[in-house]
Structure formats: structure tokens, C-alpha cells
Amino acid sequence: MIREGMRAMVFSAHAADFCSRAGGTIARIVDAGGTVQVIDMTYGIRCESQALWTKEPRPTYEEVRAIRKQELHDAAATLGAQISCFGFEDSPLVLGPDRRLQILDAIREFRPDLVLSHWIQDIMHPDHVETTQAVLWACSYSGSAGIETAHPPFGRAPLVCYETTLGTSPIAKFLPNLYVDITPVFERKIEALKKLAGGQPPLPEAYTILARYRALEARHCGGLGAECEFAEAFGRLGTEAVGV
């Protein structure tokens, strides 16, 4: 999945999703001379900023938005990725025809070798499902000359799904079949997650636990060696488990 000089797009429903689920993989792509463009659909203002909303005095909507905006840019910079945000509303996130065309045009403009997004059956968080349904549509029709956008058609890039909502894999039926060893860049991922701690303080600890567990899986199922201490897991439909 990681090649020298590749171009990867990472779609994220909320401010922190790209970093918590795929931050290590993003860093590895960047370190391999690649370019990563992260696109957040929302700032996660309503559903993923509880630590900010419970402060006293209670912040305004615009104050929360400004904090999350700064956090996501700081996290992406730590990983070495480019980032932009559509700024749609979250909970519910609704991606109708016009917004899907925006996603399609972003893909055509960047021309990725790889697209990452949420697990397509992440049913415990409807915003995640909405994101990947729209991204799947955009990837499927990025080469269609009959759909006009500001940028010309571009052949379909492979879509790979990252982790489901933490702790919901059994319900969402997320069975990883692609593992990425993030041991060399793990501390950078944690530093990036700390940039997002204003809105979501538990992220560094929670995703350290998950990365250790996924590494255990990667060693047993993905063919990675004992030197793999931390890993990220992804879902490719219909293929055997592989380690990178």
C-alpha cells in the first residue's frame, strides 16, 4: 500500500478521524516521499468536541469551531500532510448530490494513487458511513466523462477503509485484512493526537492501546515480524490479510 512518491487522499468525517485511524500510515507515506491530502468533511463540532462543550463558561459555536480548526491543522502538520475542511455540519452529516460533486472534483484535482476513508459499515457512527458512501460514489465515477466538474475525469483510485469507531468492530463487522507497521512513526502519531486533545483528550491513550493490539494481530495474521510493536488496520474487501 505504501510506495515511494505516491499520492494518497484521506477522507475524514470529523476533525480527528484521519489521525486516530490512519495517522501512522500517513506519516509513513510522507516519509517515503509521498504526498498526502487530508479532507475533513466537518470540524466535528457537535458530536466530537464534548470536552470543549462542557467547559465553564460554555464556549460559543464559533469558538469551538476555531479550536477544532486549529487542532486539525496542527495535527496534519505534525504528520507532514496537507489538509482542508469542507466545513459541513456534523451530526447529522448529509452529503447530497452537490456535495458529492465537490468530493468528486477534489479527487479529480488531486489525482490520488490511493484513497482512504472510514469503514463502509461503521454503523455506530452514521456520519462515518455517510462519508464513505459519498467517497465510494466519487471514486466510482471519477473517470466518467458524463459528469462534469471543474477538473477533468481521472481514472478510479483504489479505496481502502480504515478503522471503525473505537470499540465497535464486532457490531460493525470490521475484519482487518491489511496491516501497516507504524512502529517507526508511532511517537509522531501520538504527538499529532495530542494536538487534538482540546476537543478529545482520550485519543493518545486509547489509540496506543489499539495500536498495540493491531500489532499483535499483524504479527499473527499479516506476516509482520516481532519488531512490529504498533500497527494500524484496514479493510480491503475480499482479499487475504497482508502486512506492510
- pLDDT single digits (tens) 91-108: 999 999 999 999 999 999
For residues 109-131, give the mean pLDDT. Answer: 97
For residue 157, the model assigns a pLDDT of 87
For residue 10, the model assigns a pLDDT of 98
The Cα 23–Cα 4 span in angstroms is 18
Of 108, 130, 105, the closest CA to residue 120 belongs to 130
For residue 102, the model assigns a pLDDT of 98
Could you tell me if 78 and 192 are in contact, meaning their C-beta atoms sit under 8 angstroms apart? yes
The Cα 68–Cα 115 span in angstroms is 24
Give how far the C-alpha of residue 114 lies from the chain's centroid of Cα atoms, to the nearest Å. 12
Give how far the C-alpha of residue 203 lies from the chain's centroid of Cα atoms, to the nearest Å. 14
For residues 97-121, give the mean pLDDT. Answer: 97
Could you tell me if 60 and 18 are in contact, meaning their C-beta atoms sit under 8 angstroms apart? no
For residue 236, the model assigns a pLDDT of 84
For residue 117, the model assigns a pLDDT of 98
Q: Residue 81: what are its φ and ψ, rounded to 5°? A: -105, 155
> What are the structural domains, with CATH classification, of the chain?
7-243 (3.40.50.10320)
Angle at 135 (CA atoms; ends 130, 140), nearest 5 degrees: 130
Could you tell me if 108 and 157 are in contact, meaning their C-beta atoms sit under 8 angstroms apart? no
Ramachandran bin of 50, using left for φ above 0, alpha for ψ from -120 to 50, beta for the remaining angles: alpha
For residues 127-150, give the mean pLDDT. Answer: 97
In three-state secondary structure terms, 40 is strand
Instruction: Specify the pTM.
Output: 0.96
Query: Average pLDDT of the chain?
Result: 95
Query: What residues form DSSP beta bridges with 156?
Result: none
For residue 147, give Cα distances in angstroms to 175, 201, 239.
Answer: 34, 42, 31
* CB proximity list for 45: less than 8 A, separation 6 or greater: 61, 64, 65, 68, 89, 90
The Cα 183–Cα 195 span in angstroms is 20
Of 189, 157, 224, 159, the closest CA to residue 25 belongs to 189
For residues 200-211, give the mean pLDDT. Answer: 97
Could you tell me if 176 and 217 are in contact, meaning their C-beta atoms sit under 8 angstroms apart? yes
Residue 50: band (very low, low, confident or very high) from pLDDT cuts 50, 70, 90: very high
Residue 71: band (very low, low, confident or very high) from pLDDT cuts 50, 70, 90: very high
